């Protein structure tokens, strides 16, 4: 393999991940409609998980790779969470200040911090076991249930709790209930495509990262994390242009909750994995927690509004973090 081929693998793999996640969602929504499952349940389960499918697939592919895969998988979680709030959130605030509902600061934001802190005891022994992964997935399922409850009881026009799935659900719903063969083809192609895209992404990213002298963990924190955060970046920029602040905030906060629980839990359930000392609640973990706290603090300081100055500081923090990774810790 050469650099050109590895770059092609990485780019094509990311595109396949993105598009096949959409196919999986569309097929699953169509199947659910034929089975009589309510759109609300579909949106808060199938679609929500589908939007995190690229991160899940990439992390599972990483742990199945073997040695160093755990660092890549956890690096993807930490790096994606940091990129979502610092890079994506900061860029969106630079485009146009973001309004944050008080409910988000009281409920969703503390949940985001809380699930992040849940990883701390599980990573201290440098190993994620199947029981630990199962616990994370159980908490994820409980949060989905709570989301369904809050969505049913929320006032008309208010954004759903924990994560916004309106746009992907509406996109899939526009296709309607497809014929059963087409539905099954969409689901099959989506699942196979996710596996293929994840393998291509990991192989390309690891090769390029190794050529640049990066460790498995830094590859996950940088190349893979940025690549799998591109859907959130596009969604939030479009939402900002349309003045849909709830979509931006719901996407960012919800994605971080899902990354922490679903991505880590899914990878650990498929194959228990080890992590290096830097991920055993080390600096990168606490940077993720600090960025989450800073994002919330920016909204509080701005009186339920993240302004352009805060946005610039968040983007600057992300650039600084990338510099720290690539200059001082790239081989660790």
Among 128-142, 182-196, 210-224, where is mean pLDDT lowest? Answer: 182-196
Say how far apart CA 300 and CA 160 lie, in whole Å. Answer: 21
Given a contact cutoff of 8 angstroms between Cβ atoms, the answer to whether 85 and 295 are in contact is yes
Range of the domain at 79: 3-328
Beta-carbon contacts of residue 235 (< 8 Å; ≥ 6 apart): 167, 247, 248, 251
Average pLDDT over residues 13-37: 77
CATH number, domain at 261?
Answer: 1.20.1420.30
Please tell me the pTM assigned to this model. Answer: 0.85
In contact, 267 and 65? CB cutoff 8 Å: no
d(CA 205, CA 219): 7
Q: What pLDDT is attached to residue 220? A: 94
Decide: helix, strand or coil at residue 305.
strand
Q: If pLDDT is split at 50, 70 and 90, which confidence band does 164 have? A: low
What count of other Cβ atoms lies within 10 Å of the Cβ of residue 152?
11
Considering its fold, how many domains does the chain have in total? 1
Region 120-138: mean pLDDT is: 94
Share of the chain above pLDDT 70, in %: 85
For tokens 């640049």, the residue is 212
Under the banding of pLDDT at 50, 70 and 90, the label for residue 173 is low
pLDDT of residue 166: 52
Residue 170 has pLDDT above 70, yes or no: no
Residue 159 predicted with pLDDT over 50: no
**Alpha helices, H only, the chain:** 3-35, 39-42, 48-51, 53-65, 69-82, 89-95, 102-103, 109-123, 130-153, 166-173, 180-211, 216-219, 225-228, 230-241, 245-258, 264-270, 283-301, 308-328
* pLDDT exceeds cutoff 60 at 174: no
CA 100 from centre of chain: 20
The answer to whether residue 213 scores a pLDDT higher than 70 is yes
């Amino acid at each position: 393999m050469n650099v050109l081929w590895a770059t092609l693998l990485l780019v094509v793999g990311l595109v396949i991940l993105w598009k096949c996640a959409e196919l999986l969602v569309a097929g699953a929504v169509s199947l659910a409609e034929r089975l009589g499952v309510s759109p609300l349940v579909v949106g808060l389960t199938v679609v929500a998980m589908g939007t995190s499918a690229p991160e899940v697939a990439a992390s599972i592919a990483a742990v199945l790779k073997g040695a160093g895969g755990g660092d890549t998988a956890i690096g993807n979680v930490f790096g994606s969470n940091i990129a979502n709030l610092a890079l994506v959130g900061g860029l969106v605030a630079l485009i146009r200040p973001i309004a944050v509902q008080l409910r988000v600061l009281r409920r969703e934001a503390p949940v985001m911090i809380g699930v992040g802190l849940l990883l701390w005891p599980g990573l201290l022994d440098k190993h994620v076991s199947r029981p630990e992964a199962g616990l994370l997935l159980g908490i994820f399922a409980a949060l989905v249930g709570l989301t369904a409850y809050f969505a049913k009881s929320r006032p008309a026009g208010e954004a759903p709790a924990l994560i916004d799935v309106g746009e992907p659900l509406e996109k899939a719903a526009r296709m309607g209930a497809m014929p059963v063969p087409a539905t099954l083809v969409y689901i099959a192609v989506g699942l196979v495509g996710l596996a293929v895209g994840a393998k291509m992404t990991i192989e390309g990213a690891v090769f390029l990262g190794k050529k640049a002298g990066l460790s498995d963990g830094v590859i996950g924190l940088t190349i893979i994390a940025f690549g799998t955060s591109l859907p959130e970046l596009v969604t939030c920029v479009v939402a900002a242009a349309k003045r849909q602040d709830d979509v931006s905030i719901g996407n960012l906060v919800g994605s971080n909750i899902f990354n922490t629980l679903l991505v880590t839990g899914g990878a650990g359930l498929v194959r228990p994995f080890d992590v290096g000392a830097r991920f055993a609640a080390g600096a990168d973990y606490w940077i993720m927690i600090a960025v989450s706290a800073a994002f919330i603090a920016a909204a509080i300081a701005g009186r339920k509004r993240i302004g352009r100055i805060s946005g610039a500081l968040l983007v600057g923090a992300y650039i600084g973090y990338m510099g720290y990774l690539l200059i001082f810790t790239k081989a660790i």
